[in-house]
Structure 1
Amino acid sequence: MEDLITKLKELNIGKVIENEPLANHTTMKIGGPADIFIEPSSIDHMIKAMELIRESNVKWTVIGRGSNLLVSDLGIEGAVIKLGKGLSTLEVNGTEVKAGGGNSIVALSTQISRQGLSGLEFASGIPGSVGGAVFMNAGAHGSDISKVLKKALILFADGKIEWLSNDDMMFSYRTSVLQKLRPGIVLEAVFQLKAGDKELIFSEMQNNKEYRKETQPWNFPCAGSIFRNPLPNHAGKLIQDAGLKGYSIGGAKISDMHGNFIINTGHATANDVQSLINYIKKKIYDLYEVEMHTEVEIIGRK
């Protein structure tokens, strides 16, 4: 591990920090330390960092803006690579937009709306990265990434780099091929958008933002929707109907505003959140015989 840290620092690939608290890098403000925390300053440096990690046979985990993560209180073993500013490139060519995986999906949707490009209005309130959004096929307001993604540049675990088409991504509800079948890192994504009316696009985005502000507790540290919707049911409605809004374990509380959000009231641990998740699962199954599956990604040492 020390040899890897030395090599990474010698190559000046970006930030390289030992024992960095991951609570600093998640929207839930929860998470123990990463053995090595790396934030590459470019795509080339990302590729080089992964090459060194493979050669050192060190476990690795990739994070974006930390908006859909619950990180263990014990932290994450090995290297944690963050898609940050170094992977926030942006190119607009007509109605085609190429964005680096580290871009904020909210900032991207806002920026392209000013150019009269339509298709990412649904993302105006999703607090994640482009890479994370593609990885999990993020969506809202009746649309998702699969509707607009043309292709994505993926760095695979073996070092291979390949453009995957929309079909190759095998998108389904909050899922892509990258999650299990072909684990990889989204370096860049190309979106095929449409020319539209700037005022109408802006109005729709504002409505989406206002809806989220009025119905979701983003004024507290949280990780977005905790559960996938067990269609045709909706997770938030089931939790609300079960009378669980406001229920808490330790510093973790089910939001009074939205049943499918767990908030950090200020001192929550990952264990508190996990215990509350397990409690909800059992309660909903006992009441409705519906199995609940997490949308939030739970990672780290156990």
Structure 2
Amino acid sequence: MDNINLKVKYLRDVNLSTYTYTKTGGNVSLMFFPKNITELKQLIIWLREKQLDYITLSGMTNIAVASGNLNFVVVNMSEYNESDPEWDGTKFLKVSASYEMKKLAVWTFNRDLKGLAWMEGIPGTVGAGIYMHAGFLLGQDMQTYLVDAQYLDLDDMQVKTISNQDLLFRYRYSKFQDMNAIILHGRFLVSKIPDDWKKPLRRIKYKKRIQEYHLRRRNNQPLNFPSAGTVFVPPYPFHVGGMLRELNLVGYQIGGAKISEKSPGFIIGVNSMSGEDYYQLVLYIQKEIKKKYNLDLIPEVRLIGFE
């Protein structure tokens, strides 16, 4: 496509492996970076007029993508509304979907706001976090702190707001996964660290909590390898890592994709893992778990461009 009559930043002939945390992905002909709602609407309308298939991505922390020439273009939301969060002075904090969760944990601490320390341990953007219901344990997740989310409804091209309870959160799921929409902002519940004589002590305790989330992730996850985090939704009350140990599959490898020894719930990339390596290992794990335990594992990692 030679003539792109749009005031939207874009790149041609992009290899997605340079963006994804798994280092997987083939080539897309175009990647767009809308910066505000006007640019985003114009872009979506233009893509429809040109009959171009597109996929909306941002931090690309939880995806594995097929190789080769891909038959879609990318709307990259990582530069959307690059402004600082907006605190209303009481208890609500409005944050752009493009804002990184780890960065948000530090931003709130530096302004004596508490509630979002758990985000320090999670890579990716706020929008992706809402979409996938990011979090650690109950009470340390989107469901607990998100008040509502603003989004662009792609059916009627109107900006709308959906409340927490209407997002039907469950493990790694929000209603956005079944909506034709792009998340724009999230509004979170935060509280101010009281400005009294105990404030220095409270700040020390809160900073220690942030550090604990950081260390927990560093100590328990294979951060020195490409990965998309935990691969499967836990089949409660079973534990995927425990089942893979019982099956002696820890360290099992297909191509450059390997079941992590440090955290068997992760597939890590070694020796230039391709998206196909990752995908085939996902299928193999599903097959072996089904055969041994009669359980159907559901991936929480987004698998893009495969069958």
1:78 is matched with which residue: 63, 72, 78?
72
RMSD over aligned Cα, in angstroms?
1.7
TM-score by length of 2: 0.91
The CA distance in 2 between the partners of 1:240 and 1:88, in whole Å, is 44
Q: List gaps (5 residues or longer) in structure 1.
A: none
**Count of matched residue pairs:** 295
The CA distance in 1 between the partners of 2:297 and 2:280, in whole Å, is 14
1:28 is matched with which residue: 19, 22, 31?
22
C-alpha distance after superposition, 1:176-219 (max 9, x if no partner): 11112x22111111111223432222211111111111110011
Could you say if the C-alpha distance between residues 190 and 300 of structure 1 is closer, same or farther in structure 2, counting changes exceeding 3 Å?
A: same
Which amino acid counterpart does residue 87 of structure 2 have in structure 1?
V
Task: Confirm whether residue 214 of structure 1 aligns to residue 202 of structure 2.
Answer: no
Question: Among the aligned pairs, what percent are the same residue?
Answer: 28
CA contact (8 A) 1:236 1:260 kept: yes
2:131 is matched with which residue: 131, 135, 152?
135
CA apart distance, 1:92:
1.9
CA apart distance, 1:172:
1.5
CA apart distance, 1:69:
0.4
Q: Tell me what 2:82 maps to.
A: 88
Alignment partner of 1:54: what SS? helix
CA contact (8 A) 2:259 2:266 kept: yes
Task: Please list, as runs of the form range in 1=range in 2, the aligned pairs for 1:102-141 lying within 5 A after superposition.
Answer: 102-141=98-137
C-alpha distance after superposition, 1:254-278 (max 9, x if no partner): 1110011111113111111111111
CA contact (8 A) 2:260 2:268 kept: yes
2:302 is matched with which residue: 288, 297, 301?
297
1:155 is matched with which residue: 149, 152, 167?
152
CA apart distance, 1:111:
1.1
Alignment partner of 2:207: what SS? helix
Could you say if the C-alpha distance between residues 118 and 232 of structure 1 is closer, same or farther in structure 2, counting changes exceeding 3 Å?
A: farther
CA apart distance, 1:103:
0.8
C-alpha distance after superposition, 1:63-100 (max 9, x if no partner): 11110001111354232111113333221223321111
CA contact (8 A) 1:77 1:301 kept: no
CA apart distance, 1:245:
1.3
1:144 is matched with which residue: 141, 145, 148?
141
Q: Tell me what 2:196 maps to.
A: none
TM-score by length of 1: 0.92
Q: Tell me what 2:191 maps to.
A: 194
The CA distance in 1 between the partners of 2:268 and 2:192, in whole Å, is 38
Alignment partner of 1:7: what SS? coil
CA contact (8 A) 1:88 1:101 kept: no
Higher mean Cα deviation, 151-160 or 193-202? 193-202
Could you say if the C-alpha distance between residues 293 and 52 of structure 1 is closer, same or farther in structure 2, counting changes exceeding 3 Å?
A: same
The CA distance in 2 between the partners of 1:266 and 1:91, in whole Å, is 43
CA apart distance, 1:17:
1.7
Task: Confirm whether residue 98 of structure 1 aligns to residue 98 of structure 2.
Answer: no
CA apart distance, 1:173:
1.4
Q: Tell me what 1:244 maps to.
A: 249
The CA distance in 2 between the partners of 1:265 and 1:247, in whole Å, is 12
Task: Confirm whether residue 55 of structure 1 aligns to residue 49 of structure 2.
Answer: yes
Which amino acid counterpart does residue 110 of structure 1 have in structure 2?
V
Could you say if the C-alpha distance between residues 235 and 146 of structure 1 is closer, same or farther in structure 2, counting changes exceeding 3 Å?
A: same
Q: Tell me what 1:205 maps to.
A: 210
Which amino acid counterpart does residue 93 of structure 1 have in structure 2?
D
Alignment partner of 2:227: what SS? coil
Compare CA radii of gyration and give the structure with the larger one. 2
CA contact (8 A) 1:141 1:208 kept: no
Task: Confirm whether residue 225 of structure 1 aligns to residue 230 of structure 2.
Answer: yes
CA contact (8 A) 2:35 2:82 kept: no
CA apart distance, 1:301:
5.3
Alignment partner of 2:73: what SS? strand
Task: Confirm whether residue 283 of structure 1 aligns to residue 282 of structure 2.
Answer: no
Alignment partner of 1:87: what SS? coil
